[in-house]
Amino acid sequence: MTSENNLPPEHARRVEQPHVNVAESDRRKQLAKESEASKRFRTGGKGRRRRVRRKDWTDEAFRGEDELDYDPLERVMSRDEHDRRREVEKAVLQTDARQREQAVSVAKTATGQQALVIAAGGLRARALMDGKEFNCTVRGILTEIETGFINPVAVGDQVMVTEDGANGLVIEEVLPRQTILARPDQFLAPKQQVIAANVDLLLIVSAWWNPTIWLELIDRYLVVAQRTGIEPLICINKVDLMTEDDDYEATVQPYYDLGKRVLRTSATEGVGVDELREALRDRTTAVVGMSGTGKSSLLSAVQPELKLRTKAVSEVNGQGQHTTTQSTLLKLDVGGYVADTPGIKEFGLGGLTRIELQDYFPDILAFAPGCRFSNCSHITEPDCAVQAAEEAGLIPESRAHSYGLIWEELPE
């Protein structure tokens, strides 16, 4: 929280004040204008662009693949279709453990041995049993059980495996999942694809520069973390590229205020690597963040031989898959696992509605009781305590901005 004596964070001063009490159409125009204005380059200390926090500002070279990918059909769907999708999406993303269990568990008919899935693609998987890796197939019946997910088995799954003479090792059952990291399927939405199961740490990697830090993406992943019940850990990498006039502390202050952990790392210089290794110890971590931020480099710094293992394990993947989003679970020497999740760009916001969004922005929600309307969206309404707080510098502008951008994209 910014006190009167403190200047607002440096990054916050770079954007114009928000707009209060303007009609929605004006507000939209204003947002569009801001977005245009934000595309302008700003030259930094060493001739680089200024640090920016909008996806519009992100270096083009790193865009495309990792742009948050919202279903373009979403906007032209009928309300019924919207509702149907939302219901399905909600059902599979229930944070309530019991409902989740019902959604994913299958009848416990199998005996056999328990194993951990470390790679999965279609009906093939690689699993760890008693410290050894085995190739398995997935019992076909598992694909027929309606779970709302297209893949019956994902990395991180605890499964029961039996030995079947002709087929070798066969996964007969998926044990109830504690957490689910999923994304809408590109072709089969509203069905979702499980990216990883039973993850308990979400490592959100952002570069400080190159590509420039993108706070909106961090804020989106924080929403995902809260929705899935997975603890977030923010990692700002490439800090070796910081210039003297870059204000790191001010930029990450909103996350400290939210009680989030933030690591400051440089994979190339070895900064913060020991701390990161400790943070990963005995956890099952999914690493997320846009391409080029240094996720692989960080994992290699934590454990140099990981890269080789990644390659070896990934051979089991991608067979006859229509999607490239496959991940592998890598074992850490310090204990625990990391899920390398290449290509993840959109996940975790499925089924979220506009009015619910503020539940995932505690710094915004705190002011909501003061709003005139109980269903205030804090975007255009009059007498909005949130907008007033934002004007008064009591809500970090980057957070309010992210809220507005995500809100715009969510269904009503």
Is 371 a residue that touches Zn ion (CB under 5 A)?
Answer: yes
Closest CA to 295 of 240, 255, 343: 343
Is 296 a residue that touches Mg ion (CB under 5 A)?
Answer: yes
- Taking the least distance from each CB to ligand GTP, the nearer of 332 and 386 is 332
* Cα 308-126-345 angle, rounded to 5 deg: 70
CA-based end-to-end distance of the chain:
30
Is 267 a residue that touches ligand GTP (CB under 6 A)?
Answer: yes
> If you write DSSP's letter for every residue of 177-225 in order, what string do you get?
PS-EEEEE-TTTTTSEEEEEES--EEEEEEESTTTTP-HHHHHHHHHHH
Placement of tokens 């019956």 in the chain? 152
List the structure tokens of 143.
């694909």
Is 352 a residue that touches Zn ion (CB under 5 A)?
Answer: no
- Taking the least distance from each CB to ligand GTP, the nearer of 237 and 303 is 237
**Separate counts of helices (H) and strands (E) for the chain:** 13, 13
- Taking the least distance from each CB to ligand GTP, the nearer of 2 and 297 is 297
Is 238 a residue that touches ligand GTP (CB under 6 A)?
Answer: yes
Please, what is the minimum distance in Å from the beta carbon of residue 296 to Mg ion? 3
Question: What x/- string results for residues 335 through 374 when contact with ligand GTP is judged by CB under 6 A?
Answer: -------x--------------------------------
- Side chain identity at 335, as an amino acid letter? G
Is 268 a residue that touches ligand GTP (CB under 6 A)?
Answer: yes
Q: Which residues pair with 116 in a beta bridge?
A: 128, 158
Q: What are the strands, taking DSSP E only, across 185-274?
A: 192-197, 201-207, 231-237, 261-264
Placement of tokens 């205020």 in the chain? 257
Is 8 a residue that touches ligand GTP (CB under 6 A)?
Answer: no
Is 240 a residue that touches ligand GTP (CB under 6 A)?
Answer: yes
Question: What x/- string results for residues 274 through 313 when contact with ligand GTP is judged by CB under 6 A?
Answer: -----------------xxxxxxx----------------
Contacting range for Zn ion; rule: CB under 5 A; set: 42-50, 247-255, 278-286, 380-388? 380-388
SS3 34: helix
Is 395 a residue that touches Zn ion (CB under 5 A)?
Answer: no
Q: Which residues bind ligand GTP (CB under 6 A)?
A: 237-238, 240-241, 266-268, 291-297, 342
